[in-house]
Every structure is written in C-alpha cells, then in structure tokens.
A and B are shown apart, each in its own frame.
Chain A
Amino acid sequence: MQNSTESPTASPTRTFAVTRKLREGFFTNLALILITLVALLPIATTVLISFKREEDVTRKPPIIFPCDTPTSRFDLLACRWSIEGYERVALPMPEVGALLGFALKGRMLNTYLPNTVLYAVSTALIVMVLASMSGYAFSRYRFRGHDALMIAIIAITGVPLLTNLLALYQMGASIRHMAEGIYNDRVFIIFVYCGFYLPMSVWIAKGFFDAIPRELEEAALIDGCSPLQGLGRIIMPLAAPGLTAIFLLAFVGVWNEFIAGYLLITKNELKPAMFGMYDFLGQNIINAQVVAAACIIIALPMIVVFLVARNSFFRAMVEGAIKG
C-alpha cells in the first residue's frame, strides 16, 4: 500500500527534475557556445581580413565578406578571396636553384621568425634543465637556507622584466663597449629570457618533483644506484610531463615577448618576430590584409602547439599560479 502511494508521487518529481536538468544543461551549453563565439570573433575577423584584397580592405563602409556584387550583397560565387597579404609578407621571388624555383625574401620569414625560433628553443631548453636541477634540490633536500632561498626565488618573480630593462640595456651597452669582439646580442637576450622564466619554472618543477614518491628513489639507492643515476633513470622519466610543461611555458613566453627583444637587441637583423610585427604595423597603415596575414603567420605555430599540448599547459599554469 505504501509503495503504491509513493511511486506515483515520486515519478513526476523525478521526471520534473530530469527535465529541469536537461533544460539547465541546454541553457548552460547555449551560453557557453555564445561566449566562445564572441571570444573567437576577433580572431575569426583577422583570418577573414588576411584573405582579402587591398580594394576590399579599404572599402567604405567596411564589408565583412568580400562577396558582394553590384546586384546582391552576398553571393558565394562572387567571393574575391586572395592570398595577396601572405604574399606580401613572404615576398616569394624567382630564384634559380631554390626549392620550388623561388625563394622567400620577406624579412619576417627569413630573418625575424628564425630568430624567434632560436631564442625560444634555446631559452626553453636552458630553463628546463636549470629549473629541473634546482626544483629537484628544493624538493628532495633539506639544507640550511632552503626556505630562505625558495622565498628569494618567489620574490624575484615580483621583479618584472619591464623595470629591469633600463639596467639591462645599460649592462648590454657596457659589455659591448668593454668586450667588443665577444659580446653577442643573441647570447645576451637568451640569458635575459632565461633569468626571466627561471623563477616560475623552479616553482613548477619543485611541485612536480614533490608529487613523485620518495620511496622510488630510495629503492633505487638501495639497489645500488648513485643519486645522480637515480635522478636520471627513475625521477626524470616520471617528471617528463612536468618538464615538458616548463619547456612549453618558456617557449610560448619567449615567442610572444616583445619589449625586451625590441629594446635590448641592437641589430635589426637579430630582432625577433614580434618586433617584425610592430615594424609591419608602422609600414602598413592602410594594408590591413598584410598586417593580418603577418599576425596569422606568427600566431599559428603557437595555436597549434597549444592545441596539441593543451593539458600540459593547463596543469603547469594552475600549478605555477597557485603556488608561485
């Protein structure tokens, strides 16, 4: 009797709860889709602009799609897509003996981007090695000054690159003056970048090492490994995801850095892609399609890296932000 009275009342509430949940889920998804679209709108428009022709970029009033004809506002068959912007960034010139018969003469592709790749890869490698060494030391050893050093390293994360630029600029100038033959813009800027990304990376590395149980190492030591062998054979493979994250954060950071590369490197041919971008902006006030194409060329590698390795990024960012 009890059962029969309860079940009819219970099932409508349950279906009500289910439909409420479904409806909530629908609205949550709708809101998130809208937010995502708005967030990606500026990027989408940049992609659009980069494939337009000059005469479509300089239309008054502006048009979104270059697809209008004298008779209709939008005609898919009449779209005038073009890669003119990309061509003007890359400047392909016919050249005998070059691959595909032409060479890319644009400074962005043959000078600035290779510089950026060099700075980003070297900085990320050095930061990864040094941060894992000190992160390991901080995680595994208790020594005198342990906490003080850790706090000093966090305090250094509070020294922004911006305020150090004046002094670094002066340092660069005097080293150049004193040791003219030895001084090298590239070495100097990589060194500066390393110093800038190390503090945060040490913290992240320590966090990742803390998560690896000590017992594994102790077992290796008992089995006759030296501490360094234990580090190389047991700990490093386990810490690999963390080290990858450190590498990626430094890599993206240097790739995207502008002001230090702009001010601390004296020779234009050694400057990175972000300087190239800034330079482009000054030269192409009207030619938005060229500027947009340059943006896409520089940003696309980072977007790809991010999409491939997004979980590494997320873990390292939360780790670094909450502890550091």
Chain B
Amino acid sequence: MVQTKKARSRRRFDWLPFLLILPTALVLLVVQVYPALYTAVLSVQERQRAGWEFVGLKNFDILLSSRALGESAGHTIIFLVGYASLTLTLAFIVALLLNRKSRLSGVYITALFIPWILADIIAGVVFRLLVLPDYGLFSGILQNPALFPPRGLSVLTADAARPWFGDFPFPPSPAMIYLILAASWRALPFITLLLLAALQTVSNEVIESSRIDGASAWQTIRHITVPLILPTMVVALFNLTLGGINGVGMVFSLTGGGPGTSTTVLSYLLYSIGWGSLDFGRAAALALMLLVINLTLIAGTLRITRVQQRSG
C-alpha cells in the first residue's frame, strides 16, 4: 500500500497542494509583498509636479538629519521600555495568581479579557474621557493643586519637563506616561494568557519538590518558574515590542501625538509626514526603516520558538 502510493506520487506530480495555496499566495503577493517592495521604490523618489522623480538617498538623508526623527525615536524607546516592562511584570503576576487554579479562574480570565476585545482607538477614547481637562473623572483628583503642586496635573495638556540627557526626551511628559498605562491596560490580557499557558506546562511536581527542599515562594519563582517559561516571556516581549512599534490607533484617539510632540512616536510620525505634510517619499523612507525593524524582530521570535519546539 505504502509502496504503491509512493510509486504513484513519483509518476504524477501532485498539483492539488499548489492549487490550494495559490489564492492565498496571490493575495499576499498583491497586498503584502508588492507594497513592501513598492515602499522601497517610493523611498528613493520625490513627488514633483510632473510625477515621481528619482532622488537617491536624499529622503533618508533629510529624515535622518531631522530633529523630529531623533525625538520620535526617543519617544518610541521610552514608550516601548515602559510599555513592555510594565505589561510583562503585571501579566506575570496576574498569570501566577490565575495559575493557582481558583474555582473562579474562568470568570476572572473572561472579565480580565474584556479590555483586549476593545479597539485600540476605543481604548484611547475611554482613557481620554477619564482625564479630559476639568471634566474627566480623574481630573478632579489630578488637577488638585494640593496633591500635585504647584498647579495640579492636567494629563493631556501638561508639558514635558526639560530633558535630563541632551535631547533625549526623558523624563517623559505626563501624557506619555498615561499613554503607556492605557496601552498596557489593553495588552495585559493577551500577555497574561500567553504566560498562563506556559505556566500550566510547568509540572506541579517540580514546584512542590523545590518547596520541600526548603525554597521560599520567591526563590521558587526566581529559580524554577522563570527559567522554565523564559522562552514564552521572550516571545511575549517581542510581541509587545512589535505591537508597540506598529500600534498607532491609541495615539490618535488619546493624545493626537501631543501635547506639542511629546507623544509623537515613530508610527505617528510616519502618518504625519505621509498624510500631514504629504511627503510620501520621506514617509516611505521611514516606513522602510520600521519594516526592517519589524522583520528583524519577527526573525528573532522565530528563532526562539524554533529552539523551544526542538527542545520541548
């Protein structure tokens, strides 16, 4: 039976799998591969009255020497570090709690997941309503001068402090900190689920034997649990970084890149160069840089998951 099958497949080329994949491949070529390549073409051109004109690396040159790029890169780095570390820490704590298998675990997971189902633009609006100047529910507390001297804190309009290290936009503006909180709130459920799935593969015996050997709860987590789920944590970290670099909806609805440019991250800068100043060539140059960062991160994730699958 096996031999006849083999013989048949050697005789006749089987077209079926290729036919099944063909529609997917076509859609992906048109909507993903071609635009990615076309972005590279756009990035070395400039729009003139008569049409597009080849300008070499001029777009990259202008972009890389512009103040806006350096500043937005700084904002992006601050956002990513804050967002990823906050989300990962909170998700790990929540996942550890959920892994204790309370009878209500299912209820908690379902309730905790509701923020994830909201669109990023809606989540931004929800958080914006909380701190609207004067009228937001939290504004009453935050704008109280007794709590936040000297004039109270208006999250959406307060300026960033003078940067400590040259031009690097640190410390971040209150709006940036708030943006990080809002973004973490929305990403938390998904990362918690990932870590919980990993925690559930850690066998109870390992944990119990370390307890019997006299390890404290903290030592068990530090030396047993974390190393065992480290690959998943790294996947989660990549996932957060990718989402953080590409996510733009929340910036749109929560801060609009402001006040000033204090929450203009690279993804929002791409939008404002492309559709604000209608400079598609320069925007394409930025898009290409972001694309390279994305592909590098995906390659990193793949390596890790591959290693994980091989060892697991």
Contact of A29 with B by CB under 8 A: yes
- Decide if B38 touches A167 in the complex (CB within 8 Å): yes
Residues of A close to B239: CB separation below 8 A: 321
Contact of A165 with B by CB under 8 A: yes
Residues of A close to B20: CB separation below 8 A: 133-134, 136-137
Residues of B close to A25: CB separation below 8 A: 100, 102
- Decide if A159 touches B115 in the complex (CB within 8 Å): no
A228-258 interface with B by 8 A CB criterion: 252, 255-258
Q: Whole-angstrom distance between the alpha carbons of A321 and B291 in the complex?
A: 20
A136-189 interface with B by 8 A CB criterion: 136-138, 140-141, 143, 149, 151, 153-171
**Residues 1-24 of chain B: 1 if any A CB is under 8 Å from the residue's CB, otherwise 0?**
000000000000010111011011
Q: Whole-angstrom distance between the alpha carbons of A192 and B35 in the complex?
A: 11
Q: Whole-angstrom distance between the alpha carbons of A171 and B119 in the complex?
A: 27
Please give the distance in Å from B177's CB to the nearest CB on chain A: 16
Partner of A39, one of B34, B111, B294: B111
Please give the distance in Å from A219's CB to the nearest CB on chain B: 13
Q: Whole-angstrom distance between the alpha carbons of A307 and B107 in the complex?
A: 11
- Decide if B27 touches A278 in the complex (CB within 8 Å): no
Q: Whole-angstrom distance between the alpha carbons of A194 and B25 in the complex?
A: 12
Q: What is the number of residues of chain B that contact chain A, defined by CB distance less than 8 Å?
A: 91
- Decide if B39 touches A167 in the complex (CB within 8 Å): yes
Contact of B125 with A by CB under 8 A: yes
- Decide if B24 touches A259 in the complex (CB within 8 Å): no
- Decide if B31 touches A166 in the complex (CB within 8 Å): no
- Decide if A195 touches B121 in the complex (CB within 8 Å): no
Which residue from chain B places its CB closest to the CB of A46 in the assembled complex?
Answer: B126
Of the candidate stretches B69-77, B157-165, B168-176, B188-196, the one touching chain A is: B188-196
Contact of B44 with A by CB under 8 A: no
Please give the distance in Å from B180's CB to the nearest CB on chain A: 15
Q: A45-B129, A62-B136 are in contact. Are A263 and B113 (CB under 8 A)?
A: no
Q: Which of B20, B38, B270, B305 has the most CB of A within 10 A?
A: B20
Please give the distance in Å from B136's CB to the nearest CB on chain A: 6
Q: Which of A45, A46, A298, A321 has the most CB of B within 10 A?
A: A321
- Decide if A256 touches B132 in the complex (CB within 8 Å): no
Q: What is the number of residues of chain A that contact chain B, defined by CB distance less than 8 Å?
A: 94
Contact of B140 with A by CB under 8 A: yes
Partner of A49, one of B110, B111, B117, B129: B129
Contact of B287 with A by CB under 8 A: yes
- Decide if A40 touches B114 in the complex (CB within 8 Å): yes
Contact of B153 with A by CB under 8 A: no
Q: Whole-angstrom distance between the alpha carbons of A20 and B158 in the complex?
A: 48
Contact of A32 with B by CB under 8 A: yes
- Decide if A166 touches B274 in the complex (CB within 8 Å): yes
Contact of A196 with B by CB under 8 A: yes
- Decide if B35 touches A168 in the complex (CB within 8 Å): yes
Q: A32-B104, A138-B21 are in contact. Are A162 and B248 (CB under 8 A)?
A: yes
Q: Whole-angstrom distance between the alpha carbons of A256 and B126 in the complex?
A: 14
- Decide if B137 touches A32 in the complex (CB within 8 Å): no
Of the candidate stretches B60-68, B202-210, B296-304, the one touching chain A is: B296-304
**Residues 261-297 of chain B: 1 if any A CB is under 8 Å from the residue's CB, otherwise 0?**
0000001001100110000100110011011001101
Q: A258-B249, A259-B248 are in contact. Are A299 and B287 (CB under 8 A)?
A: no
Q: Could you tell me the dominant secondary structure of chain A's interface residues?
A: helix
Contact of B237 with A by CB under 8 A: no
Contact of A288 with B by CB under 8 A: yes
- Decide if A163 touches B122 in the complex (CB within 8 Å): no
Please give the distance in Å from A61's CB to the nearest CB on chain B: 4
- Decide if A154 touches B35 in the complex (CB within 8 Å): no
- Decide if A195 touches B284 in the complex (CB within 8 Å): no
- Decide if B21 touches A274 in the complex (CB within 8 Å): no
- Decide if B267 touches A302 in the complex (CB within 8 Å): no
Please give the distance in Å from B165's CB to the nearest CB on chain A: 29
- Decide if B130 touches A45 in the complex (CB within 8 Å): yes
- Decide if A191 touches B135 in the complex (CB within 8 Å): no
- Decide if A35 touches B17 in the complex (CB within 8 Å): no
List 15 A-B pairs, Cβ < 8 Å: A33-B108, A42-B127, A43-B114, A62-B139, A141-B17, A156-B32, A170-B280, A194-B27, A195-B27, A195-B31, A274-B249, A302-B119, A306-B113, A317-B190, A321-B235
Query: B residues engaging A (CB < 8 A)?
Result: 14, 16-18, 20-21, 23-25, 27-28, 30-36, 38-39, 42, 94, 97-98, 100, 102, 104, 108-115, 117-123, 125-130, 132, 134-137, 139-140, 185, 188-190, 193-194, 197, 232, 235, 239, 242, 245-246, 248-249, 252-253, 267, 270-271, 274-275, 280, 283-284, 287-288, 290-291, 294-295, 297-299, 302, 305
